[in-house]
Structure 1
Amino acid sequence: MAAGFEQRREALVGLIYDAVLDASLWSAALEGLADITHSAAALMHGYCVDRKLYTFHNLGRIDPECKHRHELYHVTNPWMRSSRFPAGRIVHSDDLIGLPELKRTAFYDDVLRPQNLAHGTIVNVVSRPGFRVSLNVERSEKSGPFNERDAAILRSLLPHVRRACELRLRMHDYREAAQAERDALDALSTGIITFDAGQRVLFANSSARMRGEELSLRVVAGSDLSGPPGIVNGVRALLADAVRSGTAGTRRLSRPNGREIGLTVTPVRGRAFDHPSHHRTASPAAIALLVDLSHNGEAASALLAARHGLTTAELRVATALTQSSDMRTAAVMLGISRNTLKSHTKRIYAKIGVRGHAELVQSIADIARVLDPSM
């Protein structure tokens, strides 16, 4: 019996961590939490305290309509009194409000009674300023309040639930940051495409997709580049050479309107890619820049950023520095203080290996000449 319980518990712990990467597994994990504590259902929600708003719900055998009812009744839900307790503290609903009194509330009539639920155990799993993640495990009136044995089982699982929730929130923060980076890249007029070692497209900003359409190229993340053989083969040759030799290559591509697009392919540089990876095909190996040759200054800055691992913010600073005569003008262009600008430029100069503004401008001018050999 004990061995069988431990196997169930270990499987549930694994499922909880699996749900960090696959959110669709949270329902099964919550059902497992309900089962192992001899309960009927469980739910987990994120709640923004300042806005009094639920940001997510995960339901384990909870009627989906309950989600809407919880949102409707979050102010008058008497179980919300558990929010005043510190993270990790297990609170029984019967200690917050007795069942006879609970039955006189609209919350019971509209949320609990239709699901045959009457008792709950609530715990704030994560508590941040202005935001918390709470777990509710619920059971019927017939099953009665939670006993100490069930509370002990839940208590033994809480560290895993908490770590999984912290990882989930951290991944959400990373995704938000990554989306901000993609939005910044989409704002550039330079087309940017990253390729993995197998020459599959990993990312293409909006300008790259637009330039691709002008050239009848199909540029889709997760797919091979496709289109006119002459153009596709030329891009592939540049990619292969960049990865093999570690140097950039360029060529001109003609559009139907007669105007030319400059293509530059360079290997990706940066310490983040020097370490071994279990997912090599997902690592960027080369970056291609597509730019109208009448606007190759921005492309030169982007290429410099790719070569030396500049962040998006540092790329914006480097571009502003090349378009201004002094630091004061660049700071005004960027809307930042001169001290903030100095902090950025110090890191930029160190990464690129230049000693000042003039050398940075010269470096970008040199790249611009490579992008357009006619200069």
Structure 2
Amino acid sequence: MDPAPALYLRQPVGKALSTNRMFSPEEREKDRFFNEFFRPIGLVETLGGPLYSEQGSFAMIALIRGEDRRPFDDEDAARLERLMPHIARALQLRRSFFRIDARSLGLQATLDRLQAGFILLSYEGAALFVNAAMRAIAQRGDGFALDRNGRPLPANVEARQRFDALVDDVAKGGVGGILTVPRSSGRDYVMLVAPAPQPSTRSEWERRGPVGSTVVVHDPEIGAAPTVDILAQGLGLPNGAARLVASLAAADDLKSFAKAEGVTIHTARFHLRAALARTGAKTQAELVRIAVRLLRDFALADSPTRQAKPADVAKPARPGAKATLPDRPAPKN
């Protein structure tokens, strides 16, 4: 109901004007907002103007006085106009910082959902970011630790020397490489060391200096995400066909799937034909490639701290449904 903001935003950016100049005494006496809200709370005049208006975003500033203050004059308007460009710049910077912060938090949350451990190292070797999966790997104390700067420390001496050599190679402009890190239980970790992207804030001269590293750690023992649900929804497969495709993607065949599910080989082939028809794949191998690409891109952990164990069995989704492992159908007892 306040008519002033719309009129203020029609003024040139950086122009300050008082409502006593914008509205005549007759207009103020007839205005419902002025008489039913503004004056009853002790206010009588506003001095304001637009700070900026660009790409559908705008801002304005207003100073409001009561009857105990003198009316705004031209000198007050001139003082405010001198401040308005600085206030506008501060607001624009604030909006930019919020956008950068939101993007940073979003990217960090995405990396925290990855099943693989991820570390971003500066060229000095200190960790700029460590995702939840990598922190969980280090907390297990089985092959890895993180020093006080967040830098990964393989427990195996040869692996640590190889890792340090790859980080040094990247800092000098190399491409890095892959190594394995032994552990006391389970298959070895696989680690990738590669150059980190250069910050856009660094100057051209700074970009010629040492380069930071991105480190990715694959844990072959980690439990998989709910692959059946991903395949069913992503490829539009019936539940039986999705379980079959999940089994095939895990390197099983029709016979082992049929045995694990307690169904005949004819039922397994029926699910295969349904999966081929829904995906448009011509062969079983093509079907598996489609599924593996989808699962690779959607390789997000259920929870950053949850570590699935071989004995973990999901609860049935409905009465009579079969319990399944997170990554493949569970065999019947």
Q: Which has the higher contact order (CA 8 A, sep 6+)?
A: 2
Question: What is the percentage of aligned positions where both structures have the same residue?
Answer: 20
Alignment RMSD (CA, Å) = 4.3
Aligned with 1:290: secondary structure?
A: strand
Within 5 Å, which residues of 2 pair with 1:336-375? none
Aligned with 1:133: secondary structure?
A: strand
Aligned with 1:157: secondary structure?
A: helix
**Residues in 1 aligned to 2:154 and 2:189: alpha-carbon distance in whole angstroms:** 15
- Which of 275, 280, 289 aligns to 2:204? It is 275
Task: Report how far residue 294 of structure 1 moved.
Answer: 7.2
Q: Give, as a single letter, the amino acid of the residue that structure 2 aligns with 1:291.
A: H
Encode CA deviations 1:239-298: one digit per residue, 9 max, x unaligned. Answer: 3343246241443334554233212222335595672359x9xx9611111112479xxx
Gaps of 5+ in 1: 1-75, 296-323, 335-375
Cα 1:77–1:268 shift into 2, 3 Å? same
Q: Give, as a single letter, the amino acid of the residue that structure 1 aligns with 2:135.
A: R
CA contact (8 A) 1:194 1:285 kept: yes
Aligned with 1:246: secondary structure?
A: coil
Name 1:264's counterpart in structure 2: 192
Cα 1:180–1:226 shift into 2, 3 Å? closer
Task: Report how far residue 127 of structure 1 moved.
Answer: 2.2
Flag the structure with larger Rg. 2
Cα 1:80–1:255 shift into 2, 3 Å? farther
Name 2:330's counterpart in structure 1: none
**Residues in 2 aligned to 1:137 and 1:187: alpha-carbon distance in whole angstroms:** 47
Cα 1:108–1:228 shift into 2, 3 Å? farther
Within 5 Å, which residues of 2 pair with 1:221-240? 223-225=149-151, 234=161, 235-236=163-164, 238-240=166-168
Cα 1:270–1:218 shift into 2, 3 Å? closer
Structure 2 residue 219 is the aligned partner of structure 1 residue 292: yes
Q: When the two structures are superposed, what TM-score results if normalisation uses the length of structure 2?
A: 0.50
Count of aligned positions: 218
Gaps of 5+ in 2: 223-284, 296-333
Encode CA deviations 1:126-169: one digit per residue, 9 max, x unaligned. Answer: 22455322212334433322211221222233233333333332
Q: Give, as a single letter, the amino acid of the residue that structure 1 aligns with 2:204.
A: H
Aligned with 1:192: secondary structure?
A: strand
**Residues in 2 aligned to 1:138 and 1:170: alpha-carbon distance in whole angstroms:** 28
Structure 2 residue 138 is the aligned partner of structure 1 residue 212: yes
Q: When the two structures are superposed, what TM-score results if normalisation uses the length of structure 1?
A: 0.45
**Residues in 1 aligned to 2:95 and 2:138: alpha-carbon distance in whole angstroms:** 36
- Which of 101, 105, 108 aligns to 2:36? It is 105
**Residues in 1 aligned to 2:203 and 2:3: alpha-carbon distance in whole angstroms:** 54
- Which of 124, 128, 139 aligns to 1:202? It is 128
- Which of 114, 137, 148 aligns to 1:188? It is 114
More helix as a share of residues: 1
Aligned with 2:139: secondary structure?
A: helix
CA contact (8 A) 2:50 2:60 kept: yes
**Residues in 1 aligned to 2:294 and 2:193: alpha-carbon distance in whole angstroms:** 29
